[in-house]
Chains A and B, each alone.
Chain A
Amino acid sequence: GESVGLHLPTLSVQEGDNSIINCAYSNSASDYFIWYKQESGKGPQFIIDIRSNMDKRQGQRVTVLLNKTVKHLSLQIAATQPGDSAVYFCAEKGGSYIPTFGRGTSLIVHP
């Protein structure tokens, strides 16, 4: 079936470095994508979203890039901090209002 998946299950970076978390999707009808951050023992927290009519969106220290040609999106975190350590999920919505989650990437930030 169609699904949203991630390339790397674990990403380790040094504090201050930039982080890039990737996500591939296969549903060409998906028109909205969300990145969630989930810290240990907590529920997913919204970070940033992007609609399919855009290819880039910036937030505070985060940027999401969308490449519809290859069905790929990425989350870039600038100047990564220890507090950014968490599991990051991409989620997609295509035709319904219900988010479907991808596999998740664990980001580990070393001080």
Chain B
Amino acid sequence: DTEVTQTPKHLVMGMTNKKSLKCEQHMGHRAMYWYKQKAKKPPELMFVYSYEKLSINESVPSRFSPECPNSSLLNLHLHALQPEDSALYLCASSPEGATEAFFGQGTRLTVV
């Protein structure tokens, strides 16, 4: 299995909702990432987990809360989002210290 799987593919949520994005990989990678990508822009790093511990938080607002329950799963909990948070949220993984990062297909999030 050489895939990073993200669910759901699409999500529409209201500003008072609580939702979660999920990411799963079975490649044994110990580094996992969340990126945010706005239209026609490059992916921007949000969080990095290394060996299931949060190692980097790129000053992301607290309405985004990451969680790494085990070495194969990465969640992003969403609460009280704003319309400007609408974007494609990408999960990626890599063997730590390695070169290539493998990306999932992303979750297209719309906040209404």
- Which residue numbers of A lie inside 8 Å of B, CB to CB? 32, 34, 36, 41-46, 49, 89, 93, 97-104, 106
B43 on interface, CB distance cutoff 8 Å: yes
Is the CB–CB distance between A97 and B103 below 8 Å? no
Q: A49 — which chain B residues lie within 8 A by C-beta?
A: 99-100
In the bound complex, how far is the Cα of B1 from the Cα of A64, in angstroms? Answer: 28
| Docked complex: B1-57 residues within 8 A CB-CB of A | 4, 6, 31, 33, 40-45, 48, 56
CA distance A95 to B9 in the complex (A): 33
Give the total of B residues in contact with A, Cβ under 8 Å: 27
Question: Residues of A contacting B64 with CB < 8 Å?
Answer: none
Name the distance in Å between A50's Cβ and chain B's nearest Cβ: 10
Chain B residue at minimum C-beta to C-beta distance from A90:
B42
**Chain B residue, CB-CB nearest to A43:** B103
Quick one: CB contact mask for B77-104 with A, threshold 8 Å, 1 for yes? 0000000000000101010111111111
Contact A97 B96 (CB under 8 A): yes
Q: How far is the CA of A98 from the CA of B92 in the complex (A)?
A: 10
